Amino acid sequence: MVLIEIRGLFKSFGLSEILRGINLDVEEGRVLALIGPTGSGKTTLLRLIDLLDKPTEGNIFFNGYDICYLSSKEKLKIRRKMGMVFQKPVMFSASVYENVSYGLKVRGKGNSRLEIQRALEEVGLSGYESRDAATLSGGEMQRIALARAMVINPEVLLLDEPTANLDLRSAYAVDELIKRLANCGRTVIMASHNMTECRKLANKVAVLVDGRITRTGKPEEILTEPELYVNSISGQPFLESI
Amino acid sequence: MFNLVIEMERKLLKISVLILMLAMICIATQAADSNNSRLKLVTTTSLHDTGLLDVIKQKFEEKYNNVSLDVISVGTGIAIQYGERGDADVLLIHDKTREVKFVKDGHGLERRCVAYNYFNIVGPKDDPAGIKGLNATAAFKNIFQKGKADPTKVTFVSRGDGSGTHSKEQTLWKAAGYNYSNQVNTSVNRWYLEAGSGMGATLTMTNEKSAYTLTDTSTFMAYNSTYKGNFTLVPLVESTIDLLNVYTAIAENPKKHPGVNCEMANKFINFLVSEEGQKLVGGYGMDKFGKALFFPAKGNCTLIGCSSGECAVPTNASCAAA
Amino acid sequence: MDEISAGFIRAIQLIITLNPEVVEITVRSLSISLTSVLIASLVDIPIGGLIEFHDFRGKRALINLIQTFYSIPTVTVGLLVYLLLSRSGPLGGMGLLFSPAGMVIGQTVLITPIMIGLTISALRGVSVQIEETALSMGATNLQVIFTIMKEARVAVVATVLLGFGRALSEVGVAMMIGGNIRGYTRVLTTAISLETSMGDLDLAMALGIILISISLVVNLALNRVQGR
């Protein structure tokens, strides 16, 4: 069942057009991987889906409802169904516990120590509750950000390069986690550079180049095509095989 | 399981809040004791700096023990302004011309001469203008002429701040036959310096330049004794009639400035002119300086040119507002 | 130059013997300035937040204006507030002139530009990503504002300390509004002014040293807070 439909989405910042007519379907309970060179608009697309910004043109439908032009109260309701992890996540200047429990706090759900504990275990950072979040390494911050998004139990997970800063071991663990989350029925939209990760996790791959979706299809189909290994602009490979 | 830093932060917060509350209480108690009636006395710096008013305040508050006498000391010009805006309850100043106008314009009730002393003309010991032994008017003539002839030898420093002392100085120039703005206070006159300061700063400047200036006795005596460094000024013209400095008390007129503490102001003036008050005034300074800084107005009314109706007699001007 | 060393000696004497008048003046200085900064914080920090978090025409001009007033001369503020509180002025009936309460009003007005302006700077210093992260976590606009304010708390505390420092060491307002009345509105700064003009330079120096010491403590606290 299609949970999110994107139709004719355009986004410009001033004079630069980042997204030029995106059409995309996201199936419920499935993992969609967005691949493409840097600057192709992956992050912008994720932000638009999370309703952090308004498109210049076009619509996004969530469960059939047009969500881009709602009032901010209604947008908040939709946004609360989603959890986003940014590419280089920032931590609030507080303890790890307070960071992870933030989402619960703003929803007025009394935060449960147990839930936080569990979330930290899942990302492999048990016992980190009282650490000052500012002292974490990049990889640790990424995992805390993931725990933060997980703990609110979102229907949709938006992940922008979730394992980009992680070492092999942690990347593997996180990928396993994402797999588990997907298996529980969550919808995942993931921007990635990592071919192995995509092959492992994605049910569908969409290629985003220069603000347009050039190909969509199953990972086996797409990830073997040689053009993908070359960036259309700079001639550099944009997909890494790790 | 609390972060240690967060705990310290909370402690700091608690302490700061406590300090703030203490501060508020301090202010609150201070405001509360204005169940006491407050009498705002505005006076000149030269009078205030002698310390006489501390003595008067103490005795006055002893006598009327639910009153706080607030003494505000500024230049005479500002004192008059405060009076004209109704910000004071009673004035104690020394400028007859402005005092008379003040009462005439309806800001003040009545003038009461309270005390007097003399201004001095002080200058360098060797007295290049040769004023010693002259009266003030003649001395000013000499200073003008000798200063014009040779500004390097003879200079005069003026308060230049609209104070009572400055007013007196201007009166003396006039008496000496000169137009103040055209002839004396012009930029051509290199011998005439305008300090634009209080008496203390003016004396310092005068000392530095070995110049002449007009000063009140008390500030001069105070500077003479406490000045660090070489104080070379000496009094050259003292107690001549044209150097009389008469202090007058005036209560604010509640008709023009409703809300002033008129009753207390009258009580204060009557205290000053009473036998006790006049004795306080007359005896002040003996122990500190070895000589009296002020003379009581009572008994000296003719000398100081104060009419019998205004000279050290009690006032019973009406405090009715309308 | 031995006024300075004489001043130091006099300062130590005054402090050790807990000279009652000096204690009274110091406590009054502190309580007036503390009260001013408290009121200013309660009013100006939210105003700073309001300005920063809203977009409106003339926002930049307003902020420019506020920053221009950072270094307004204290005597000018003193004069303005005097005209306001004078019996012949609009608020004259309240009898606030020449009272500690009036001084609090004056100092609050004095430090308002820097309190508002530095609060805005503090909030601006919080990275935009924090706002986005908070939003993506499902925070309401109000919650986002609180979160940003919490992130900026160090800078906001620094603002408060700075406001306190400015209030404590200013003369113009205290003199014009307070009148330097002994036992009622005399504070450290006005006392220093008086003693200097009367020629008692040792005492003026001593009071100055006491004032500087307090400022030193405030600055140490500032450094501590910012160093985190």
Can you give the residue ranges of every domain in chain C? Answer: 2-227
Residues whose CB falls within 8 Å of the CB of residue C45, separated by 6 or more in sequence, listed in order: C115, C119, C156, C159
Which of the other chains make 3 or more beta carbon contacts under 8 angstroms with chain C? A, B
Asked if residue B244 lies in contact with residue B302, where contact means CB atoms within 8 angstroms, the answer is: no
Tell me, what's the pLDDT at A82?
94
Report chain C residues whose CB lies below 8 A from the CB of B201: 197
List the 3-42 stretch of B: residues with Cβ below 8 A of A. Answer: 3, 5-6
C-beta neighbour count of A80 within 10 angstroms: 19
Give the Cα separation of C129 and B220 in Å (integer): 68
Residue of C nearest to A151 (CA): C137
Q: Is the pLDDT of residue C41 over 60?
A: yes
Structure tokens at A104: 């619960």
As a whole-number percent, the residues of chain B with pLDDT over 90 amount to 51
More confident residue, B6 or B233: B233
On the CB side of C62, CA atoms within 13 Å amount to 13
Predicted confidence (pLDDT) at residue C91 exceeds the cutoff of 90: no
CA distance C148 to chain A (A): 9
pLDDT band for position B1 (cuts 50, 70, 90) = very low
* pLDDT score for B3: 46
Chain A residues whose beta carbon lies within 8 Å of the beta carbon of residue C127: 90
Mean pLDDT calculated for residue range B106-127: 93
Summary count for chain B: helices (H), strands (E): 12, 10
Residue with tokens 């593997």: A172
Considering only the beta carbons, identify the residue of A72, A90, A149 that sits closest to C130. Answer: A90
User: What sign does the dihedral C130-C136-C142-C143 (CA atoms) show?
Assistant: negative
pLDDT score, position A28: 92
Residue identified by tokens 């110091």 is: C26
Higher-pLDDT residue of B166, C201: B166
ipTM of the complex model: 0.87
Paired sense of beta strands A187-191 and A156-160, if any: parallel
Q: Which residues from chain A sit within 8 angstroms of residue B5, using beta carbons?
A: 132
Regions of chain A short of the pLDDT cut 50: 232-233, 242
Residue of B1, B5, B6 with shortest CB distance to A129: B1
pLDDT value of residue A34? 93
Q: How many Å apart are CA B163 and CA A72, to the nearest integer?
A: 67
Distance CA C9, CA B11 (A): 35
Q: Which chains does B contact via 3+ CB–CB distances below 8 A?
A: A, C
> Which of C136, C149, C228 to probe by mutation at the A interface, max A CB count within 10 Å?
C136
Answer yes or no: do B6 and A95 touch at CB < 8 A: yes
Domain-by-domain residue ranges, chain B? 37-117+245-304, 118-243
C148 vs A contacts (CB less than 8 Å): none
What pLDDT does residue C203 have? 86
Which of B1, B2, B3, B10 is the best mutation test for A, with the most CBs of A within 10 A?
Answer: B3
Are B26 and C27 in contact (CB < 8 Å)?
Answer: yes
Kindly list the residues of chain C whose beta carbon comes within 8 Å of any beta carbon in chain A.
127, 129-130, 132-141, 143, 147, 150-151
Q: What is the pLDDT of residue A111?
A: 66
- pTM comes to 0.79
Nearest by CB: A80 against C130, C138, C141: C138
Percent of chain A's residues with pLDDT above 70 = 92
Read off the pLDDT of residues A91-110 as tens digits, 9 standing for 90 and up.
999 999 999 999 998 988 87
CATH 1.10.3720.10 fits C2-227, yes or no: yes
**Do B37-117+245-304 and B118-243 fold alike per CATH?**
yes
The span from the CA of C212 to the CA of A2, in Å, is 70
User: What's the confidence (pLDDT) of residue C142?
Assistant: 85
> Which tens digits make up the pLDDT trace of B55-106?
999 999 999 988 999 999 988 889 999 999 999 999 999 999 999 999 999 9
Average pLDDT, chain C: 90
Q: How far apart are CA A177 and CA A190, in angstroms?
A: 13
CATH code linked to domain B37-117+245-304:
3.40.190.10
Q: Nearest residue on chain C to A102, judged by CA atoms? A: C137
pLDDT digits (tens, 9 = 90+) for A63-88: 988 998 888 889 999 999 999 999 88
Is the pLDDT at C52 greater than 80? The verdict is yes
- From chain C, the residues in CB contact with A80 under 8 A are 138
Q: Give me the architecture of the B118-243 domain, per CATH.
A: 3-Layer(aba) Sandwich (3.40)
Q: Give phi and psi for B118, each to the nearest 5.
A: -120, 145
For C110-122, what is the mean pLDDT?
Answer: 95
